[in-house]
Amino acid sequence: MSAKESTQLEECMTGLITVFHNYAQGGGDNNSLNKSELKKLLNCELYNFMGKQNDDAKVSEIMKELDENGDGKVDFQEFVTLIGALTFLCNECFQDM
Protein backbone atom coordinates (compact mmCIF):
# COMPACT_ATOMS: atom_id res chain seq x y z
CA MET A 1 0.00 0.00 0.00
CA SER A 2 1.24 3.45 -0.83
CA ALA A 3 1.22 6.23 1.73
CA LYS A 4 -1.20 8.29 -0.34
CA GLU A 5 -3.98 9.94 1.57
CA SER A 6 -7.35 8.19 1.27
CA THR A 7 -10.07 9.90 -0.68
CA GLN A 8 -13.38 10.83 0.92
CA LEU A 9 -15.13 7.86 -0.68
CA GLU A 10 -12.38 5.47 0.35
CA GLU A 11 -12.67 6.76 3.92
CA CYS A 12 -16.42 6.07 3.82
CA MET A 13 -15.85 2.53 2.56
CA THR A 14 -13.25 1.86 5.23
CA GLY A 15 -15.69 3.24 7.79
CA LEU A 16 -18.42 0.86 6.66
CA ILE A 17 -16.11 -2.12 6.96
CA THR A 18 -14.81 -1.02 10.37
CA VAL A 19 -18.28 -0.35 11.82
CA PHE A 20 -19.62 -3.68 10.57
CA HIS A 21 -16.76 -5.67 12.08
CA ASN A 22 -16.89 -3.75 15.37
CA TYR A 23 -20.45 -5.00 15.86
CA ALA A 24 -20.03 -8.43 14.24
CA GLN A 25 -17.27 -9.36 16.68
CA GLY A 26 -18.20 -11.77 19.41
CA GLY A 27 -21.37 -13.81 19.66
CA GLY A 28 -20.12 -16.83 17.69
CA ASP A 29 -19.74 -15.68 14.09
CA ASN A 30 -17.31 -12.77 13.76
CA ASN A 31 -18.30 -12.12 10.16
CA SER A 32 -22.04 -11.71 10.65
CA LEU A 33 -24.42 -9.76 12.85
CA ASN A 34 -26.86 -11.72 14.97
CA LYS A 35 -30.07 -10.08 16.09
CA SER A 36 -28.69 -8.42 19.22
CA GLU A 37 -25.61 -7.19 17.33
CA LEU A 38 -27.84 -5.78 14.60
CA LYS A 39 -30.02 -4.05 17.19
CA LYS A 40 -26.97 -2.52 18.82
CA LEU A 41 -25.62 -1.31 15.48
CA LEU A 42 -28.97 0.22 14.49
CA ASN A 43 -29.32 1.97 17.84
CA CYS A 44 -25.75 3.23 18.08
CA GLU A 45 -24.97 4.04 14.46
CA LEU A 46 -28.23 4.66 12.61
CA TYR A 47 -30.62 6.24 15.11
CA ASN A 48 -30.76 9.57 13.27
CA PHE A 49 -31.92 7.91 10.07
CA MET A 50 -33.91 4.95 11.40
CA GLY A 51 -34.93 6.01 14.90
CA LYS A 52 -34.34 4.03 18.09
CA GLN A 53 -35.24 0.36 17.76
CA ASN A 54 -36.65 -0.56 21.15
CA ASP A 55 -39.17 -3.04 19.81
CA ASP A 56 -37.68 -6.52 19.40
CA ALA A 57 -40.40 -7.48 16.92
CA LYS A 58 -39.39 -4.54 14.72
CA VAL A 59 -35.74 -5.58 14.87
CA SER A 60 -36.74 -9.12 13.91
CA GLU A 61 -38.63 -7.70 10.96
CA ILE A 62 -35.61 -5.66 9.80
CA MET A 63 -33.42 -8.72 10.32
CA LYS A 64 -35.73 -10.85 8.19
CA GLU A 65 -35.74 -8.23 5.43
CA LEU A 66 -31.96 -8.05 5.38
CA ASP A 67 -31.23 -11.77 5.73
CA GLU A 68 -31.39 -12.62 2.06
CA ASN A 69 -29.82 -16.07 2.32
CA GLY A 70 -31.98 -16.95 5.33
CA ASP A 71 -29.20 -18.10 7.64
CA GLY A 72 -30.51 -16.01 10.55
CA LYS A 73 -27.55 -13.62 10.45
CA VAL A 74 -26.68 -10.45 8.56
CA ASP A 75 -23.38 -10.78 6.70
CA PHE A 76 -21.40 -7.89 5.21
CA GLN A 77 -23.06 -8.17 1.81
CA GLU A 78 -26.52 -8.01 3.41
CA PHE A 79 -25.40 -5.08 5.58
CA VAL A 80 -24.13 -3.16 2.56
CA THR A 81 -27.53 -3.68 0.91
CA LEU A 82 -29.13 -1.89 3.88
CA ILE A 83 -26.62 0.96 3.73
CA GLY A 84 -27.07 1.24 -0.03
CA ALA A 85 -30.86 1.40 0.28
CA LEU A 86 -30.70 3.96 3.13
CA THR A 87 -28.19 6.08 1.23
CA PHE A 88 -30.47 6.00 -1.79
CA LEU A 89 -33.42 7.16 0.32
CA CYS A 90 -31.35 9.90 1.94
CA ASN A 91 -30.34 11.17 -1.47
CA GLU A 92 -34.01 11.32 -2.47
CA CYS A 93 -34.77 13.30 0.72
CA PHE A 94 -31.95 15.75 0.07
CA GLN A 95 -33.18 16.29 -3.46
CA ASP A 96 -36.69 17.06 -2.17
CA MET A 97 -35.40 19.74 0.20
Positions touching Ca ion (CB under 5 A) are 67, 69, 71, 73
Instruction: Name the β-bridge partners of 33.
Output: 74
If the CB atoms of residues 37 and 67 are measured against Ca ion, the closer one turns out to be 67
Q: HSE, CB side, 13 Å, CA atoms: give it for residue 1.
A: 4
Q: Which is nearer to Ca ion, 53 or 78 (CB)?
A: 78
Question: Which are the contacts of 67, defined by CB distance < 8 A and separation ≥ 6?
Answer: 73, 74, 78
Question: How far apart are CB 45 and Ca ion at their closest, in Å?
Answer: 19
Query: What is the closest distance, in whole angstroms, from the C-beta atom of residue 74 to Ca ion in the complex?
Result: 6
